[in-house]
A and B are shown apart, each in its own frame.
Chain A
Amino acid sequence: QKEVEQDPGPLSVPEGAIVSLNCTYSNSAFQYFMWYRQYSRKGPELLMYTYSSGNKEDGRFTAQVDKSSKYISLFIRDSQPSDSATYLCAMSAAGAGGTSYGKLTFGQGTILTVHP
């Protein structure tokens, strides 16, 4: 069983739709949760970062973490063609002393296309 499961899609939605992207995980030690967006032939860019359970909103993007279910989500409201990209979830456990060194575990990524 993979530590992080993410449906690779592809997911195709019309412009203006609400998009829901999800990941499940098996390691209960994960406490830090991130979403990265990766455009074609580019490096991943950090989109959202959350710690532990709860919601975080940034513009059209909302990240949700449910640690009891080991489930995280990213919602995109009023989706735009410029949102077309691969979305990667990533997570990690805290290291010794509360610090850690970028040992992220990634999902496979979901390919999203928003068509006009």
Chain B
Amino acid sequence: ETGVTQTPRHLVMGMTNKKSLKCEQHLGHNAMYWYKQSAKKPLELMFVYNFKEQTENNSVPSRFSPECPNSSHLFLHLHTLQPEDSALYLCASSQASQSGNTIYFGEGSWLTVV
């Protein structure tokens, strides 16, 4: 069982839909992240939350809206997406107070925009 749980695992949505991805970490970490993984491209960092505060927004379009209600939960709200947004969206967590960057990923949510 992974310490980072993502739901749903698969999502198909139209360009006018609104949906949300959910992430929960059971590792006691205080930092959470959203990464995007597209075919033939490196993992791209989207958002960073440290102690529930957003500390990084890596020039992500506003059609992606993150929410971090507490240090264990992270959401990614999606609206008016484009087909090129189809990708694997990975949630991750780490203990931000330590030196280094050992981050742990969830299984990912496969998103298809039609």
Contact = CB atoms under 8 A, between A and B. Distances in A.
Interface of A: 2, 4, 8, 32, 34, 36, 41-46, 49, 51, 88, 90, 92, 94, 98-109
A101 B42 contact: no
A43 B106 contact: yes
Interface in B49-71: 50, 55-56
Q: How large is the interface on B (under 10, 10 to 19, 20 to 34, 35 or more residues)?
A: 20 to 34
Given A94-B99, A99-B96, A104 B105 contact: no
Interface string B71-114: 00000000000000000001010101111111111111010000
A101 B55 contact: yes
B21 to A, nearest CB: 13
A43 B96 CA distance: 20
Interface of B: 2, 4, 6, 31, 33, 40-43, 45, 48, 50, 55-56, 90, 92, 94, 96-108, 110
A100 B101 CA distance: 6
A102 B101 contact: yes
7 contacts: A8-B40, A32-B101, A43-B107, A44-B43, A102-B103, A103-B101, A106-B43
Contact of A103 (B56, B97, B104): B56
B106 A101 contact: no
Contact of B101 (A45, A88, A92): A92
Nearest to B2: A43
Nearest to B99: A98
B56 A109 contact: no
B92 A106 contact: no
A84 B40 CA distance: 18
Given A44-B105, A108-B41, A102 B99 contact: no
